[in-house]
Structure 1
Amino acid sequence: MANGITNIVVVGGGTAGWMAAAALIRVLNKQVTVRLVESEEIGIVGVGEATVPHIKLFNNLLGLNEADFVARTQGTFKLGIQFRDWGKLGDTYIHGFGVIGHDIGLTPFHQYWLKARLSGMHSDADLHDYSVNTVAATRGKFMPAPTDVPAGSPLSTIGYAYHFDASLYARYLREYSEARGVRRTEGKVRSVDLHPETGHVAAVVMESGERIEGDLFIDCSGFRGLLIEGALQSGYEDWSHWLPCDRALAVPCARVEAPTPYTRSTAREAGWQWRIPLQHRTGNGYVYSSQFISEDEAAAKLMANLDGKALADPRPLRFVTGMRKKSWNRNVVALGLASGFMEPLESTSIHMIQAGISKLLELFPSDGVMDPVLIERFNERTRFESERIRDFLVLHYNATTRDDTPFWDYCRTMSIPDSLKTNIDLFRHSGRFFRNADEMFAAVSWIQVMIGQGIMPTGYNPLVDQMPDADLPKFLDSIRDVISKNVDLMPTHQQFIDRECKAAAVVV
Structure 2
Amino acid sequence: MHNKHIKNVVIVGGGTAGWITASLLAKIIGKAINITLIESDKIGIIGVGEATIPPIINFNNALGIDENTFIKETKATIKLGIEFENWKQKGDSYMHAFGSIGKSFPFCDFSHYWVKSLQNGDDSSLWDYSLNYQAAKKGKFAKLPHIEGTTLPGLAYAYHFDASLYAQLLRRFSEAKGVTRIEGTINKVNVNQDDGSIDSVTLEDQQKITGDLFIDCTGLHALLIEKTLNTGFEDWSHWLPCDRAMAVPCESVDKITPYTRSTAHDAGWQWRIPLQHRIGNGIVYSSKHMTDEQAKETLLANLDGKPLAEPRAIPFRTGRRLKQWHKNVISIGLSSGFLEPLESTSIHLIQTAAIRLVKNFPHNGINDEEVTEFNRQSRIEIEKIRDFIILHYKLNERNDSEFWRTCQRMDIPDTLREKIALFKKTGKVFREYDDLFAEVAWQQVMVGQGITPEDHHPLADNLTDEQLRDLTTHLKMIINNTVDKLPSHEEFLASL
Bin for the TM-score computed over the shorter chain: over 0.9
Residue 234 of structure 2 aligns to a residue in which SS?
strand
Q: How far is 1:108 from its partner?
A: 0.9
Q: How far is 1:61 from its partner?
A: 1.0
Structure 2 partner of 1:16: 17
**What CA deviation, in whole Å up to 9, does each residue of 1:27-64 have, x standing for no partner?**
01211111000111111110000000011111011100
**What CA deviation, in whole Å up to 9, does each residue of 1:94-138 have, x standing for no partner?**
101110110222221111001111231x1x201111011011001
2:479 equivalent among 470, 478, 483: 483
Structure 2 partner of 1:380: 376
Structural RMSD (CA): 1.2
Structure 2 partner of 1:128: 127
Q: How far is 1:151 from its partner?
A: 6.2
Residue 306 of structure 2 aligns to a residue in which SS?
coil
CA distance in 2, matches of 1:315, 1:278: 21
Give the AA of the match of 1:498: A
Kept in 2: contact 1:8–1:216 (CA 8 A): yes
CA distance in 1, matches of 2:216, 2:262: 30
Give the AA of the match of 2:57: K
- 1:53-452 aligned within 5 A: 53-120=54-121, 122=122, 124-146=123-145, 149=148, 152-153=151-152, 156-367=153-364, 369-452=365-448
Kept in 2: contact 1:247–1:288 (CA 8 A): yes
After superposing on structure 2, the runs of 4+ consecutive aligned residues of structure 1 that deviate more than 3 Å are 146-151
Residue 30 of structure 2 aligns to a residue in which SS?
helix
Give the AA of the match of 1:320: R
Give the AA of the match of 1:107: C
CA distance in 2, matches of 1:493, 1:260: 7
**Aligned in 2, Cα 1:186/1:403: closer, same or farther, shift over 3 Å?**
same
Q: How far is 1:10 from its partner?
A: 0.3
CA distance in 2, matches of 1:165, 1:431: 39
Give the AA of the match of 1:131: S
CA distance in 2, matches of 1:279, 1:315: 23
Kept in 2: contact 1:247–1:319 (CA 8 A): yes
Q: How far is 1:149 from its partner?
A: 4.3
CA distance in 2, matches of 1:108, 1:64: 35
Kept in 2: contact 1:76–1:277 (CA 8 A): yes
CA distance in 1, matches of 2:400, 2:52: 31
CA distance in 2, matches of 1:174, 1:444: 36
Q: How far is 1:461 from its partner?
A: 1.0
Residue 31 of structure 2 aligns to a residue in which SS?
helix
**What CA deviation, in whole Å up to 9, does each residue of 1:398-446 have, x standing for no partner?**
1011011111111111111111000000000011001110211111100
CA distance in 1, matches of 2:468, 2:145: 30
CA distance in 1, matches of 2:147, 2:261: 32
**Aligned in 2, Cα 1:476/1:319: closer, same or farther, shift over 3 Å?**
same
CA distance in 2, matches of 1:460, 1:499: 44
Structure 2 partner of 1:504: none
Structure 2 partner of 1:506: none
TM-score where L is the length of structure 2: 0.98
CA distance in 2, matches of 1:491, 1:149: 15
Q: How far is 1:148 from its partner?
A: 9.5
Kept in 2: contact 1:403–1:412 (CA 8 A): no
Q: How far is 1:83 from its partner?
A: 0.4
**What CA deviation, in whole Å up to 9, does each residue of 1:331-390 have, x standing for no partner?**
1110000000010000000010011111111111121x2111111111111111111111
Structure 1 partner of 2:494: 498
Residue 31 of structure 1 aligns to a residue in which SS?
coil
TM-score where L is the length of structure 1: 0.95
Q: How far is 1:464 from its partner?
A: 1.0
Residue 420 of structure 2 aligns to a residue in which SS?
helix
Q: How far is 1:89 from its partner?
A: 1.1
**Unaligned runs of at least 5 residues, structure 2:** none
**What CA deviation, in whole Å up to 9, does each residue of 1:294-327 have, x standing for no partner?**
0001100110110001111112211001000000
Residue 68 of structure 1 aligns to a residue in which SS?
helix
**Aligned in 2, Cα 1:277/1:37: closer, same or farther, shift over 3 Å?**
same
Q: How far is 1:231 from its partner?
A: 1.2
**What CA deviation, in whole Å up to 9, does each residue of 1:467-490 have, x standing for no partner?**
122211111110111011001111
CA distance in 2, matches of 1:150, 1:371: 53
Q: How far is 1:26 from its partner?
A: 0.4
Kept in 1: contact 2:217–2:332 (CA 8 A): yes
Residue 342 of structure 2 aligns to a residue in which SS?
helix
**Unaligned runs of at least 5 residues, structure 1:** 501-508
Structure 2 partner of 1:42: 43
Count of residues paired in the alignment: 493
Kept in 1: contact 2:50–2:273 (CA 8 A): yes
Give the AA of the match of 2:281: N
Structure 1 partner of 2:466: 470
Q: How far is 1:157 from its partner?
A: 2.8
Kept in 1: contact 2:189–2:201 (CA 8 A): yes
**Aligned in 2, Cα 1:254/1:297: closer, same or farther, shift over 3 Å?**
same
Kept in 2: contact 1:193–1:203 (CA 8 A): yes
CA distance in 1, matches of 2:159, 2:269: 21
Give the AA of the match of 2:134: V
Structure 2 partner of 1:503: none
**What CA deviation, in whole Å up to 9, does each residue of 1:56-82 have, x standing for no partner?**
111011100001101110110100000
Residue 104 of structure 2 aligns to a residue in which SS?
coil
Residue 157 of structure 1 aligns to a residue in which SS?
coil
**What CA deviation, in whole Å up to 9, does each residue of 1:439-462 have, x standing for no partner?**
111111000111001111111111
State the identity as a percent. Answer: 49
**What CA deviation, in whole Å up to 9, does each residue of 1:250-274 have, x standing for no partner?**
0000000121000000000000000
